[in-house]
Amino acid sequence: MAKARTIQVNDTRINVLLNKDQNDYICLTDMTKNFEDGARLIEKWLNNKSTIDFMGVWEQLNNPNFKTPEFGGIRMEAGSNRFYMSVNKFIERTGAIGIFAKAGRYGGTYAHKDIAYHFGMWLSPEFNLLVVKEFQRLVEAENNPLLLQWDISRILSKTNYQLHTDAIKDNIIPQLSIEKKKEYLVYASEADMLNLALFGCRAKDWEEHNPELASKGLNLRDTATINQLIVLSNLEVVNAEMIKRGVERIERFAFLQQMAQEELTSLNKTNVEQQFKRIATKYPVAITNDRITIE
For residue range 148-180, what is the model confidence (pLDDT) as tens digits? Answer: 555 555 555 565 666 677 777 888 878 877 778
Q: Identify the H or E element spanning 16.
A: strand 12-20
| Residue 176: strand pairing partners | none
Q: Is 82 helix (H, G, I), strand (E, B) or coil?
A: coil
Chain segment 120-145, per-residue pLDDT in tens: 999 999 999 999 999 988 887 776 55
CA distances from 125 to 16, 31, 121, 138 (A): 20, 13, 5, 20
pLDDT of residue 291: 39
The mean pLDDT value of the chain amounts to: 83
Q: Is the pLDDT of residue 290 over 50?
A: no
Chain segment 93-118, per-residue pLDDT in tens: 999 999 999 887 778 999 999 999 99
Interhelix angle for 145-159 vs 226-244, to 10°? Answer: 20
Span 193-213, mean pLDDT? 91
Q: How confident is the model at residue 282 (pLDDT cuts 50, 70, 90)?
A: very low
pLDDT of residue 36: 93
User: What distance in Å separates the CA atoms of residue 121 and residue 228, rounded to the nearest whole number?
Assistant: 42
Q: Is the pLDDT of residue 92 over 60?
A: yes
Percent share of the chain, pLDDT over 70:
84
Residue at 241: amino acid letter: E
Q: 142 — phi, psi (to 5°)?
A: -65, -40
Domain locations in the chain as residue ranges: 3-141, 145-283
pLDDT of residue 170: 81
User: What distance in Å separates the CA atoms of residue 245 and residue 248, rounded to the nearest whole number?
Assistant: 9
* Residues in the chain, overall count: 295
Q: Hey, how many other C-beta atoms are within 10 angstroms of the C-beta on 33?
A: 14
User: What distance in Å separates the CA atoms of residue 157 and residue 261, rounded to the nearest whole number?
Assistant: 18
pLDDT of residue 185: 80
Chain segment 25-82, per-residue pLDDT in tens: 999 999 999 999 999 999 999 999 999 999 999 999 999 999 999 999 999 999 888 8
Q: SS3 for 165-207, per residue?
A: HHHHHHHHHHHCCCCHHHCHHHHHHHHHHHHHHHCCCCHHHHH
Q: 14 — phi, psi (to 5°)?
A: -125, 120
User: What distance in Å separates the CA atoms of residue 32 and residue 53, rounded to the nearest whole number?
Assistant: 22
CA-based R_g, the chain, Å? 26
User: What distance in Å separates the CA atoms of residue 121 and residue 127, rounded to the nearest whole number?
Assistant: 8
Contact predicate 253/239, CB 8 Å: no
